[in-house]
Amino acid sequence: MTSLQDLVQQGQSVWLDYIRRDLITSGELQHLVSQGVSGLTSNPTIFQKAIAGSTDYNASLHRLLETDPRADVTALYEALAFEDIRLAADILRPVYEATDGADGFVSLEVSPHLAHDTAGTIAEARRLWQAVDRPNLMIKVPATPEGIPAIEALIAEGVHVNVTLIFALAHYEAAAHAYIRGLERAPAPRRAASVASFFVSRVDTAVDRALEAIGTPEALALRGRIAVANAKVAYRRFQEIFGGESFAALRRQGARVQRPLWASTSTKNPAYSDVLYVEELIGPDTVNTLPPHTLEAFLDHGQVRGNTVQEGMDEAEATLARLADLGVDLGAITEQLQVEGVAAFAASYDRLLATLEEKRGSL
C-alpha cells in the first residue's frame, strides 16, 4: 500500500495539481491513478508552463493551423486544453464510476479575466461544460464576490464546481453557502459535486513577511504556523456547516458535502518540511491537490499519522488570536492574496496566449 492509499484510508483524496500532454500519453497519469491519485486540477499557470515549456503540443497545433491558419489564439488554446482535459477525464472515469460520482474529477478554469463578472462567468462555465462534455469535469470558479452567485447558479444547473482562490474563513463560508443554495434549487441534488479550494502555503509566505517585519521572539515563533491553523479553523467550520441542521434536509436527499480541498500545498520556505501541508491536513471528506514534486516527496518520505486536520483545533484558534494580538491583520492579508491570485492567473493566461501566437509564427 502506498502512502497515498494510506491517505485514502483516512478519508482524503489526492489530486494531481498538474497537466501536460506527455503526462497523459506516456501512461504516467494512469500509473499515478494506480498508486492512489483520484483527480487532477489545472489552471492558466499550469497550461502556460506546459505549452511554453515543451514541444508536446506542436503536432496538435500544426494540425489546427492547417485546418484554420487564421484561428484565434484563444480558440487554439481551448482546442489544446479541451483535448488534455478530455483525455485525463477518460483516464479518471473509472474512479468516477466506482465512487458513484464522488471522485475522479478533472478541473478546468474559466477565464481569469471574468473573475469580477458574474454573468460572464456563468456563460463561460456553461460553454466549457458543454464543450468538454465529460461527466467528471469540474469548472473552476473563483470565490470573488462576483464569483459566489455564479457558483450558486451553476450548482443549481448541475454543473460541478471547483471553487478556487479561497484564502480566508469568510471566503470559505461564502463558497459553502453558495453551494448549499445551489443544491436547494437543483432538480437532482444528489448528483451535484463541488470542492472548496482553500489555499495554504501562500498564506504562510505573506504572513511570515509581516512577522519578520515585527521581529520580536513572539512574532518569529509564529512563522510557518498560520497557514495550517487557518486551514484547521476552516475545516472546523466545514464540520459545523455540513454537519448541522442547515444541511440535514439535503443530506437526507442524498446530497454530498462540498469537500475542502487544500490547494497551494508546495512548501515555499526551504526551512519547512516539504510535506508540511500534506501531513498536517489529513482528514475525512477532504482533498489535497499536490504538484508533482510535492507528490514525489510524499511518496518518498511522507508520514500518515492519522486524522491530523482535527488535531489541535483549539490551539489553532489560539495561534490566530496571538497573531491578531501582534497587530497582524490576517483578514487584510488574505483579501490581498485573493486579489493577487486573480491577477497572477490573468497574467499567466495572457502569457499563454502570447506563447501560442509565437508558436503559430514558428510553425
Query: Which residue in the list 49, 140, 232, 268 is annotated as catalytic?
Result: 140
Q: What is the DSSP string of 121-172?
A: HHHHHHHHHHHH--TTEEEEEE-STTHHHHHHHHHHHT--EEEEEE-SHHHH
Cβ count near 340 (within 10 Å): 14
CA distance 216 to 323: 12
Phi, psi of 235 (to 5 degrees): -65, -40
CA distance 52 to 46: 10
Q: Are 104 and 91 in contact (CB under 8 A)?
A: no
For the chain, give the longest Cα–Cα distance.
64
268 belongs to the catalytic site? no
Take residue 145 and report the three cell numbers written for it.
464576490
By CB atoms closer than 10 A (0-12, 13-18, 19+), residue 144 is buried
Q: Are 157 and 163 in contact (CB under 8 A)?
A: no
Take residue 28 and report the three cell numbers written for it.
504516467
- Kind plus residue range of the DSSP H or E element containing 319: helix 313-325
CA torsion through residues 117, 120, 122, 124, sign: negative
Catalytic (active-site) positions: 140
